[in-house]
Amino acid sequence: MPDNKIEEFEVEKVFENRLHERLAFTFKVKEQEFKGHYHNEEIQWLNPSPIQLLDESTVERIEATVHSFMQHYLVLHDIQDIEITPVFEDTPHERHKICIHVQGEDYKGLVHNGEIQWFHPQPLQNLTKDTVEALESEIHEIVEQHEQEKNEK
């Protein structure tokens, strides 16, 4: 979708703490702004809808991208607790231990040389591949921050 690239994707909660709470999103394609609501894994387009202005295959790609972005958003905002601690400090076996609580499940593992080795249960048993990738990306960012802070001391 090189000519129809999604830009400036933003998400916010609307009707927060109410029965009708949902996520509102906005983005641009070819400098045309589109808005919608995301609720129960469904997209409800506001006016103008991309369906009115773009061809069907482009709309399908845009909707797939919106679903992917929203899944990432939901997972990253559903992390209730994340703990990353160094283990085996100042030894050749130094690693980071991770404990994370997402969507009612606890996951644990070790981060070493840029790879996460998950213990049982593994996130891919309960979460989608895209969700796990977003989760792992967030973990890598936190580990990198820990490393930078350690090096600054």
- 39-94 pLDDT, tens digit each: 888 999 998 888 888 889 888 999 998 988 887 787 777 666 778 888 888 888 88
pLDDT at position 97:
92
Q: Do 13 and 21 contact (CB within 8 A), yes or no?
A: yes
pLDDT of residue 3: 62
Q: Evaluate if residue 2 carries a pLDDT over 60.
A: no
Distance, in Å, from the CA atom of 107 to the CA atom of 82, rounded to the nearest integer, reads: 10
Q: Are 25 and 66 in contact (CB under 8 A)?
A: yes
pLDDT for residue 80: 63
Which DSSP letter does residue 25 get?
Answer: E
Q: Hunting for tokens 């606890």 — which residue is that?
A: 106
pTM: 0.57
What pLDDT score does 111 carry? 92
Nearest to 124 by CA among 115, 110, 135: 135
At 104-139, the pLDDT tens digits run: 788 999 998 889 999 988 888 888 787 788 788 888
